[in-house]
Structure 1
Amino acid sequence: MPMHDDQIDVTAETVAALVREQFPQWAGQEVRALPSAGTVNAIFRIGDGLAARFPLRRADPAAARSDLERESRASAELAQISPFPVPEPVALGEPGPGYPLPWLVQTWLPGTIATDADPSSSEAFADDLATFIHALRQADTAGRHFNGSGRGGILTDHDEWMETCFQRSEPFLDVPPLRRLWSRLRALPRTSPDVMTHGDLIPGNVLVSQNRLVGVLDTGGFAPADPALDLVAAWHLLERTPRQLLRKALNSDDLEWERGRAWAFEQAMGLVWYYGETNPPMARLGRQTLARLLAPDA
């Protein structure tokens, strides 16, 4: 079952044909689809050193190209300052037979996503996450500010979305305590200037080995935003003790920490009802994060 009403199906055979036509230097490389709980792109390996990302949802090709070019610039910029490996853009593919949009080729990183190798109890992993987030916060914004309608701006801008989530979640979740939590979190003020952020530190975007961080994926959202935005990792990825170690390492005060909770809550509320049938791992992440957010020791 497709995750989105406007989803594009793409196969390894289609990708292999596009690679042969547009990038003959890789024509002899094996192309294989990767199983993934990702919601934005289908991912294919090209040989041992490359990966191709194919946007899943239909869009205007010119707008899709602009988005991929922006993501490529952001990924290349993050690669210059990240203390951990991140994918780097290699080439931009064109629409072709079987696929109507531009697509991106980038370097492949070894490791296991945190969805499959749960590091949530590892204090060393929490310390690695803090190192990564700190490095992003120290990066130069070059005068840029948050620009968009997604997470990382003004909490109350998400009231309409949250109301939709509360209504759609009634068959699946105990909604009244969730409404009460949002009523408190949405009113938190903002006192800190924008910093550079990853923007989506969820288990599927984090690579681990032996309970250590060994790579970070989906870096095209590297951009200025609320410093609390990357704190979503505290609830998406960590149990209580490592979570508190992350907070201490980043020296997060009460306001910043609670705003991080707010962004994690805003993200998690959309996962259970939207992906319940089409992407069970994402729905499970939503439930797990909500349970952590509602715990008295969160």
Structure 2
Amino acid sequence: MTHPVPEVEVDETLVRTLLRAQHPDLADLPLAPAGTGWDNVLWRLGDDLALRFPVRSVSAPLVAHEQKWLPVLAPRLPVATPVPLRVGMPGDAYPWAWSVVPWFHADPAWSVPVTDRTAWAGDLAEVFVALHRPAPADAPVNPFRGVPLSPDTTTLRERLDRVALPEADRVLERRAELAAAPAWDGPALWLHGDPHPANLLVRDGRLHALIDFGDVTSGDPASDLATAWLTFDTDGRRAFRERVDAACGWDDATWRRAHAWALHLAVVLLQHPVDHPHLAQVGRRALAEALVD
């Protein structure tokens, strides 16, 4: 899969210009590129700050969602989150809102051996126990998370064909079986939307932060709970589920839908291009976990 082409080049000159115009007290801090994702580019600012810029028009609303809703959600969560410390406005050849956020001194979970993640499986469970509460009617809408998985697997089959996955038929059969579980009939709950191991940060053997709330939405918690397969091995998954179930009491149908989502998201992660090999690695390992169960 080809990485989406940025619609705006956010280089150091543009960043400095925006800072001088809007946040001049920050404009002379050391600045270094910290990576470009599917939707945003990140610049590190000084020792403890980062700048988050959308690079495509379709991703601009995601930053707006973070700016509006993270200050509401963060106080209820037991880990750090990138609550915007300041808001940047369009200007100087840059067309969208942007954010000044904390820089977390921690490691992404994908870089941690999977056997070491069990130690903080309960930490992540507590995040979802706190987050998965009824959301207001004006919560952001996301057509790709918190919704029923479509029975139409044409797109999934195309993705499987592109990566020439030998287990393609098995993936499709298992996904169909799991996705046939009874639908969510509870209230729309707050969801992170994308809690895979690149958005989980670990420090000193514990979960330190949950980042990238651009996909924040509401609906069925199953799509968030799919991280049980994306992030953990059998032992970690058991610890995660036991803690979640003790607090929330989700039924077997919820976990079957979560399992179906794990298969779906694993294939999506496998599609990431060569400049994001860690995400493809997460997808490969998650697929193996989801097919074993």
TM-score class, shorter: 0.7 to 0.9
Match of 2:26 in 1: 26
The structural deviation recorded for 1:173 is 4.4
Match of 2:287 in 1: 290
Selected match of 2:171 from 159, 167, 178: 178
The structural deviation recorded for 1:112 is 1.2
Deviates more, 1:246-255 or 1:284-293: 246-255
The structural deviation recorded for 1:9 is 3.7
Selected match of 2:118 from 105, 109, 123: 123
* Residues 1:190 and 2:177 are matched in the alignment: no
Q: Conserved in 1, the CA contact under 8 Å of 2:79 and 2:208?
A: yes
Q: Distance in 2 between matches of 1:167 and 1:2?
A: 16
Deviates more, 1:174-183 or 1:127-136: 174-183
CA change 1:157–1:199 in 2 (3 A) is: farther
The structural deviation recorded for 1:48 is 2.3
Q: Distance in 2 between matches of 1:98 and 1:13?
A: 11
The structural deviation recorded for 1:84 is 1.0
Match of 2:129 in 1: 134
Q: Conserved in 2, the CA contact under 8 Å of 1:31 and 1:46?
A: yes
* Residues 1:168 and 2:162 are matched in the alignment: yes
CA change 1:140–1:226 in 2 (3 A) is: closer
Q: Over the residues paired in the alignment, what is the CA RMSD in angstroms?
A: 2.6
Q: Which runs of 5+ in 1 are unaligned?
A: none
Match of 2:215 in 1: 221
Tell me the amino acid that sits aligned with residue 279 of structure 2.
Answer: M
* Residues 1:254 and 2:252 are matched in the alignment: yes
Q: Deviations over 1:228-261 (max 9, x none)?
A: 1221221111111110111111114321111111
Q: Conserved in 2, the CA contact under 8 Å of 1:10 and 1:98?
A: no
The structural deviation recorded for 1:185 is 2.5
* Residues 1:207 and 2:201 are matched in the alignment: yes
Deviates more, 1:84-93 or 1:7-16: 7-16
Matches within 5 A, 1:36-185: 38-57=37-56, 59=57, 64=60, 66-97=61-92, 99-118=94-113, 120-137=115-132, 139-143=133-137, 147-156=141-150, 159-169=153-163, 171-185=164-178
Q: Conserved in 2, the CA contact under 8 Å of 1:86 and 1:216?
A: yes
Instruction: Give the secondary structure class of the aligned counterpart of 2:110.
Output: coil
The structural deviation recorded for 1:292 is 0.8
CA change 1:77–1:158 in 2 (3 A) is: farther
Q: Distance in 2 between matches of 1:158 and 1:267?
A: 15
Tell me the amino acid that sits aligned with residue 257 of structure 1.
Answer: W
Q: Distance in 1 between matches of 2:110 and 2:282?
A: 9
Q: Conserved in 2, the CA contact under 8 Å of 1:232 and 1:260?
A: yes
Match of 2:266 in 1: 268
CA change 1:76–1:146 in 2 (3 A) is: closer
Match of 2:275 in 1: 278
Tell me the amino acid that sits aligned with residue 4 of structure 1.
Answer: P
Instruction: Give the secondary structure class of the aligned counterpart of 2:52.
Output: strand
TM-score, normalised relative to structure 1: 0.86
Tell me the amino acid that sits aligned with residue 205 of structure 1.
Answer: N
Q: Conserved in 2, the CA contact under 8 Å of 1:120 and 1:237?
A: no
Q: Conserved in 2, the CA contact under 8 Å of 1:146 and 1:225?
A: no
How many pairs does the alignment contain? 288
Q: Conserved in 2, the CA contact under 8 Å of 1:136 and 1:196?
A: yes
Q: Distance in 1 between matches of 2:158 and 2:181?
A: 21
CA change 1:163–1:173 in 2 (3 A) is: same
